[in-house]
Structure 1
Amino acid sequence: MDNISRRGLLTGAGAVVAAGALGVPTASARSLALPTTKRFAMGGDGGEIFRHKPLADVTVMQSFAFDTPNNRLFTGQLRAGRGANSGDLTLTQLSLTGTVLGRMYLNGFGHAVSIGAQAVGSTSYIWTETDVDTTNGRGRQICRFPWRNDTTLTSASVTKWKPVTGGVLTPAVDQRYGRLGVRHASPEGMRITVYDLAAASAGNYSTVLASFVQPALTAGVAFQGWALYGSYCYFWEGTAYPGDPDPAKANSKLWCYDINAGKIVDSFLTLAGNSLTYREAEGMAVYGSTDATARLYFGFASGVGGDRRANLFYRNELV
């Protein structure tokens, strides 16, 4: 869940740029044009791949990402028993049917509102926030590291970058179009800045492909994830059922933002998984290397405290 205050969002906005970041876009940078692509229809065709699956930890799934070329799925969550602001995370590798295949632990990283995955041959590289600010539990930089099962990493052990001036950084990877997005705080609110993925992987953030302020979503509803695909950005929001699975109380909503037009072009209040216990919207990511195989996934946490589970649904209609 991403529901910290605006005051907390701006904490650390004047932090020093990490070594390796070659350029820092200002908060006033305008959105730049990207080659126009198709977009997912928010109320279009779709389905689910699994429901109520356990992860490597018992906490709520915060986010997930696909390594499409290698058909791998990774999830991020807070590590049980470590405190909400510790920044200690558990990553789980799953099969595409929801079987746990491995785990990693990340100490001092952040909240895992969004993670990314990038294939380099047969190796999966994971993008996350890092360098936790323990006053709010969010990362102040981003990092990239290879997946290694049964490994524990500390924030000090990874190469990290701060390509923007704001705090509360989270990454998203657009594998199809080779881009990295960074969501971060700015004086205008949350901003998303887009870079070339190959350049960013090498620590070069000197060229900004697009930069825009996140549009206003539903007031009072928790922001729960985001994803990039082509010339569109997708947002996911929703609050857990307040004690009972009454579909009339559901507020989980999908949003589609046209980066080039600078506006929301589609939204949909979904009742997917409306029979789930708890049903908290958590995480968003894209799978697929062509329009024919592309799917926009959105997740829910389910279950009871101390035994939360993961659920993944998708949209696959492009218009």
Structure 2
Amino acid sequence: MSTPLSRRTALRMTGAGLLGLGAALALPAADASADVPASQRFDLSQPSTERFRSVSLHETHHAMQGMAYDNVNRRLYIAQIQNGSDGDDLCVNELTIEGVLTGHMHVSNAGHGVSIGVEPVGTSSYIWMECDSDAHSDAGRGTALARFKFVDGATPSSVQKFLTGSKTITCATDPANNRLLVRRNEGGSMYYSLFPLADAAAGDFSSPLAHFPQPALGSGSVTFQGYTLLGSYLYTLDGTGHEDPADIDSYVTAIDMNTGTVVQRSLTKAGETLFYREPEGMMVYRTVGGNLRLCFGFASRPDMTSLERYASVYFKDVLI
């Protein structure tokens, strides 16, 4: 008599031999398949707290995009478009969690930087981000993932590239569980795929822990602005920039990666007094004391005529 397959075993069989260094993800037969250990999630209805407000990044004329935090080496990384770029050349800023700029790297022909990840390796931080943009313009988006060591003032060297030939690909990292979440266009729809970070760094994408389509966010179209993950939950940020705080439309959403369904969606007015506040980027940060925080960023400006852009970060920290 045959032994019934577990969901993880079935998922391994679906993807085995089809994924690898430079290979594209094959779509599982089902819309959603996952086997991620259940975890607590952040309560998005709770108030937000300011981490830092209105700091200048290395590229003064462009808004912040994705962000990630190295919880081992205590470094924050924020992506943004380079000054003078055609639109797809990015800058990765290094900061303290208090918002003090400590370094930067320029990454050419990368994409838009909606989301990035970071992997601590000893005393070094390795950046995960999109690369090989499909257009030298603001419309350019990554077609592969790059992994490289952050070196202040340098350009990436010894770059590993994964999942080449993708469309609109980005990623995020779970610092508590050492996982990599990949978001990309598959067959005209956005899908998420979750992997052990060590497997991904070794070029092994054969055993996704989860693979599911992005669920609808709200009742109509939304402007997607970032995502992150912790445990079995994905968190997304969407909304547009507004001069009038009364028009704020920024939402944080929690999605169960085992079912691919929205479990909570909450309007956030964090940083509502920022001028032309626009939601940008998400990450999970662990304090020195071990508390986990769901962080999300906002770009702002001094006034509507200024080219200068600021970055601010807020967080929620109540787990349920």
Q: Residue type of the partner of 1:250? A: I
Partner of 1:13 in structure 2?
none
Distance 1:317 1:22, change over 3 A: same
Counterparts in 2 of 1:61 and 1:23: CA distance versus 1, 3 Å: closer
Q: How far apart are the structure 2 equivalents of 1:199 and 1:217?
A: 30
Q: Which residue of 1 aligns with 2:179?
A: 179
TM-score by length of 1: 0.87
Map 1:86-235 onto structure 2 (within 5 A): 87-134=88-135, 136-153=139-156, 158-162=159-163, 166-187=166-187, 189-218=189-218, 219-235=220-236
Gaps of 5+ in 2: 1-17
Aligned counterparts of 1:291 and 1:41: Cα–Cα separation in 2: 20
- Which of 76, 80, 85 aligns to 2:83? It is 80
3-state DSSP class of the match of 2:33? Answer: coil
Q: Structure 1 residue aligned with 2:262, among 253, 261, 264? A: 264
- Find the aligned partners of 1:291 and 1:223 in 2 and give their Cα distance: 32
Partner residue in 1 for 2:64: 61
User: In the aligned structure 1, how far is the partner of 2:272 from the partner of 2:24?
Assistant: 45
1:73: Cα distance to partner? 0.3
Q: Alignment partner of 1:314: what SS?
A: strand
Q: Distance in 2 between matches of 1:317 and 1:291?
A: 15
Q: Distance in 2 between matches of 1:19 and 1:256?
A: 29
TM-score (norm 2): 0.87
Deviation at 1:221, TM superposition (A): 2.7
**One-letter amino acid of the structure 2 residue matched with residue 90 of structure 1:** C
Query: What residue number does 1:298 align with?
Result: 296
Q: State how far apart, in whole Å, the 1-side matches of 2:72 and 2:195 are.
A: 21
Q: Secondary structure at the match of 2:183?
A: strand
1:286 deviation in Å?
Answer: 0.5
What do the CA deviations read for 1:81-139 (whole angstroms, capped 9, x no partner)? Answer: 1112xx21011111111111001000111110000111111111110000110173100
Residues 170/27 of structure 1: CA separation in 2 closer, same or farther (3 Å cut)? farther
Match of 1:38 in 2: 40
Give the equivalent residue in structure 1 for 2:5.
Answer: none
The offset of 1:53, in angstroms, is 0.4
1:199 maps to a residue whose letter is: D
Partner amino acid for 1:195?
Answer: F
Q: How far, CA to CA, are the matches of 2:66 and 2:78 in structure 1?
A: 6
Look up the equivalent residue of 1:108 and give its one-letter code. N
Amino acid at match of 1:297: C
What is residue 317 of structure 1 aligned with on the other side?
A: 318
Given that residues 93 and 101 in structure 1 are in contact (C-alpha distance below 8 angstroms), is that contact kept between their aligned partners in structure 2? yes
Deviations 1:168-191 (A, max 9, x none): 100101121111011000125100
- SS of the aligned residue for 1:198 comes to helix
Q: How much has 1:262 moved relative to structure 2? A: 2.6
Measure the CA separation in 2 of the matches of 1:292 and 1:23.
Answer: 37
Q: Give the structure 1 partner of residue 8 of structure 2.
A: none
Which range moved further: 102-111 or 21-30? 21-30
- Asked whether the 8 Å contact 1:221–1:251 carries over to 2, the reply is no
Asked if the contact 2:240–2:249 (Cα under 8 Å) also holds between the matched residues in 1, the reply is: yes
Is the 8 Å Cα contact of residues 253 and 266 (structure 2) preserved in structure 1? yes
Q: Is the 8 A contact 1:184 1:191 kept in 2?
A: yes
Change (3 A) 1:203 1:187: same
* Secondary structure at the counterpart of residue 199 of structure 1: helix
User: Where does residue 15 of structure 2 map in the other structure?
Assistant: none
Q: Which amino acid aligns with 2:271?
A: G
Letter of the 2:142 partner, please give it. Answer: G
